[in-house]
Amino acid sequence: MSQETDYTEDNIRSLDWKEHIRMRPGMYIGKLGDGSSPDDGIYILLKEVLDNSIDEYVMGSGKTIEVSIQGNKVIVRDYGRGIPLGKVVDVVSKMNTGGKYDSRAFKKSVGLNGVGTKAVNALSHFFRVESTRDNKSASAEFSQGNLINQELLDDTSRRKGTKVSFIPDEAIFKKYKYRNEYVEKMLKNYVYLNTGLTILFNGEKYYSEHGLKDLLEENINVSDMVYPIIHLKAEDIEIALTHSRTQYSEEYHSFVNGQNTTQGGTHLAAYREALVRTIREFYGKNYEASDVRKSVVTAVAVKVMEPVFESQTKTKLGSTDMGGDLPTVRTFVNDFVKTHLDNFLHKNPDTADKIQRKILQAERERKELSGIRKLAKDRAKKANLHNKKLRDCRVHFGDTKNDRYLESTLFITEGDSASGSITKSRDVNTQAVFSLRGKPLNSYGMSKKIVYENEEFNLLQAALNIEESIEDLRYNNIVIATDADVDGMHIRLLLITFFLQFFPELIKEGHLYILQTPLFRVRNKKETIYCYSEQERRDAIEKLKPKPEITRFKGLGEISPDEFVNFIGESIRLDPIMLDKDMSIEALLEFYMGKNTPDRQEFIIDNLKVELDIVEEVHEN
């Protein structure tokens, strides 16, 4: 029997605002991360500051926002009304303090709870806010939420507005760095949703004239569109829509009050339902919902009075009402789509004909695959029950009670020893392991039929739960974990080909990564250093003089579980797989997986030469 612990008044603590944020940062900014994932906390910090500047623009003040990131220092400058000077300290350091409780000032704002900038302040080792209005200026400087200095200027020639500078605290965010690709995507979304707004990022201009239409054009090549983008807009709602010629599954971009709701919510559910209903009624056919939505690439944005999100990071809308005298979200979205999309189709018979042909093609393909899909699902169920191909974790998408979904990770690895090491080292709450048997099939140029006929692909698709849409994706992070040798590189390439061919939106939305594992272990009797590059190896040798022991890891299976926990825990290093916006998926697949061209041979030789030189040097030493 365990010994009873005393429980007295001395056990009761009251934390001030900054202590609570620093002790429980996940409650305020989701997962921490090192910046390798677009939903890591350092980007949420930037978003929280930007949201305030965006709200100023929405309220008609300030057409330009300047963003600068140099190293780890972030600066956001807007030209809005400026924070009331007597409240500059309060709005960034007193919880539940802000201007957005007054709906007269901010009618359809994202940040309503007076929390965002306080979290940025508490989680930064340097934070400075400066407000200018009426030719006066007030500033305050903090460290980890503690006020260090404040200043009031009675006379200034600076333009009105607010400037926030911060450096995320390395005690909270380990070895982090901002990736420009993720910042650029965030900023582009802001200008798509706020036509007429200019954002300057490190001097580069972002601006949109056509809103969500521009967003879709950024995400799909014109040559891949079945028909030109349908762009419909009214007060408080905007949609853009097309179908892809080559993409199999559905792709959605959803927003509420300018916030990218990556996990959807009531507005997206209503939109998907309204899209199917309107199409059925227009053609007078009871088409299967999956046939209507197959290969759809679309975006929807709504504005809601005082929206309720399911978490502080605002990635899923929970509100059922639009607010004020407006109807429910479901009714509002359905009425808009039914009226405006139906009118568009009547006025554009050529587009209507192409949509119908796309639906009929999806219907034929579904019927052709129906028998195979049933057998595949049965095999997947039996495989999941009777073998150890998938070692699952306890976090799954759709479980609104579990706030660790953003951390959920599926490692895809090859070989019993490698999968065994990861399985024994992982966090069973958030990390799952999928074991490949040998090299996967080269799926380049193949149809979706192969996904169901090939056991590896079928089971992987079932494990991820992405047959119809990535909205039900069971793991936020998909990590390819292979050896850093020629065979491992080939497996990576085959898996990336599979995702590009059948589920490119997983890559577009930032879910696919390569696990970095150390190439070397350099140690002496006092210290061990794991090195991920030749430069890190040299630095470690220099640090651990005299001659330390150097081990070259040839494969994941050589790394013991006790060591592996260092590489998939808090210090995990991930390389995100990103698409070059200037290269189509078809061109990408053709280069890497098409006929063996001299260009590709030269590319492979050049990239392998560096690795081989490192190995030879280690052997010589």
What mean pLDDT is predicted for residues 107-122?
70
pTM for the model? 0.82
Whether 464 and 474 have beta carbons less than 8 Å apart is answered as yes
**Does residue 427 contact residue 410 with C-beta atoms inside 8 Å?**
no
Cα separation, 589 vs 249, whole angstroms: 18
pLDDT-based confidence at 399, cuts 50/70/90?
very low
Alpha helices in 303-348 (DSSP H): 329-347
Q: How many CB atoms lie within 10 A of CB 481?
A: 27
Mean pLDDT (whole number) for 555-565: 81
Contact 409, 429 (CB under 8 A): no
pLDDT confidence of 104, banded at 50, 70, 90? very low
Contact 39, 153 (CB under 8 A): no
| CA 114 to the chain's CA centroid | 24
DSSP 8-class letter at 473: -
The whole-angstrom separation of Cα 379 and Cα 457 is: 12
Q: Tokens standing for 295? A: 């290969």
The answer on pLDDT for 65 being more than 90 is: yes
Report yes or no: 32 and 172 within 8 Å, Cβ to Cβ. yes
Determine the distance from the C-alpha atom of residue 64 to the mean position of all C-alpha atoms in its chain, rounded to a whole number.
Answer: 26
User: What value does the mean pLDDT take over residues 226-245?
Assistant: 94
pLDDT in tens, 251-303: 899 998 888 888 888 889 999 999 999 999 999 999 999 999 999 999 999 98
Identify which has the larger pLDDT, 554 or 1.
554
Is the pLDDT score of 222 beyond 70? yes
Mean pLDDT across 522-551? 89
The residues, ordered by sequence, that sit 6+ positions from 311 with a Cβ below 8 Å of its Cβ are: 30, 403
As a whole number of angstroms, the distance between CA 84 and CA 137 comes to 10
pLDDT for the residue numbered 55: 87
> How confident is the model at residue 577, as a pLDDT?
87
Position with higher pLDDT, 418 vs 513: 513
What is the DSSP secondary structure assignment for residue 489, as one 8-state letter? Answer: H
What is the Rg, in whole angstroms, of the alpha carbon atoms belonging to the chain?
26
Per-residue model confidence (pLDDT) at position 390: 87
Between the alpha carbon of residue 407 and those of residues 153, 197, 469, the distances in Å are 45, 33, 20
pLDDT at site 340: 96
The residues, any chain, with a CB within 8 Å of residue 151's CB and separated by 6 or more, are: 138, 139, 140
Task: Give me the phi and psi of 381, to 5 degrees please.
Answer: -65, -45
Whether the domain at 17-207 and the domain at 212-363 fall into the same CATH topology = no
Report the CATH fold assignment for 212-363.
Ribosomal Protein S5; domain 2 (3.30.230)
Q: How many residues does the chain have?
A: 621
- Number of helical (H) and strand (E) elements in the chain, helices listed first: 20, 22
Residue 168 and residue 126 in contact, taking contact as beta carbons nearer than 8 Å: no
- Does position 587 have pLDDT exceeding 60, yes or no? yes
More confident residue, 22 or 341: 341
What is the C-alpha to C-alpha distance for residues 449 and 256, in angstroms, rounded to an integer?
36
- Average of pLDDT values for 317-345? 84
- At a CB cut-off of 8 Å and minimum separation 6, what does 21 contact? 27, 28, 118, 119, 122, 123, 145
Q: What percent of the chain is modeled with pLDDT above 70?
A: 84
pLDDT, the chain, mean: 84
Dihedral of alpha carbons 254, 260, 262, 264, sign = negative
Q: Which DSSP string do the residues of 80-144 spell out, in sequence order?
A: SS---GGGHHHHHHSTT-SSTTSTTT-TT-S--SS-HHHHHHHTEEEEEEEEEETTEEEEEEEET
Q: Is the pLDDT of residue 375 over 80?
A: no
Q: What is the DSSP letter of 328?
A: B
H helical segments located in 455-514: 455-464, 486-502, 504-508
* DSSP three-state, residue 537: helix
Domain boundaries, the chain: 17-207, 212-363, 387-517+553-583
**Residue 17: predicted pLDDT:** 76
Q: Are 561 and 424 in contact (CB under 8 A)?
A: yes
Q: Are strands 296-302 and 237-243 parallel, antiparallel or unpaired?
A: antiparallel
pLDDT score of 1: 46
Average pLDDT over residues 216-237: 91
- The residues with which 207 forms a beta bridge, in sequence order, are 198
Note whether 199 and 190 are within 8 A (CB): yes
State mean pLDDT over 309-319.
69
Torsion sign over Cα 193, 194, 195, 197: negative
Q: How far is residue 7 from each of residues 11, 155, 203, measured CA to CA in Å?
A: 6, 57, 58
What is the mean predicted confidence (pLDDT) over 555-571?
81
Which of residues 276 and 1 earns the better pLDDT score? 276
* DSSP for residue 568: S
Contacts of 274 (CB under 8 A, 6+ apart): 333, 334, 336, 337, 338
**pLDDT of the residue at 109:** 58
Classified by CATH at the fold level, domain 17-207 comes out as Heat Shock Protein 90 (3.30.565)
- 3-state secondary structure at position 481: strand
How far apart are alpha carbons 587 and 598 in whole angstroms?
A: 16
Q: Taking a C-beta distance cutoff of 8 angstroms, is the pair 467, 380 a contact?
A: no
Torsion angle (degrees, nearest 10) of CA 21, 25, 30, 31: 170
For the domain with range 387-517+553-583, which CATH number is right: 3.40.50.670, 3.30.70.100, 1.10.3720.10, 2.40.33.10? 3.40.50.670
pLDDT of 612 > 50? The answer is no
Locus of tokens 């047959």: 467
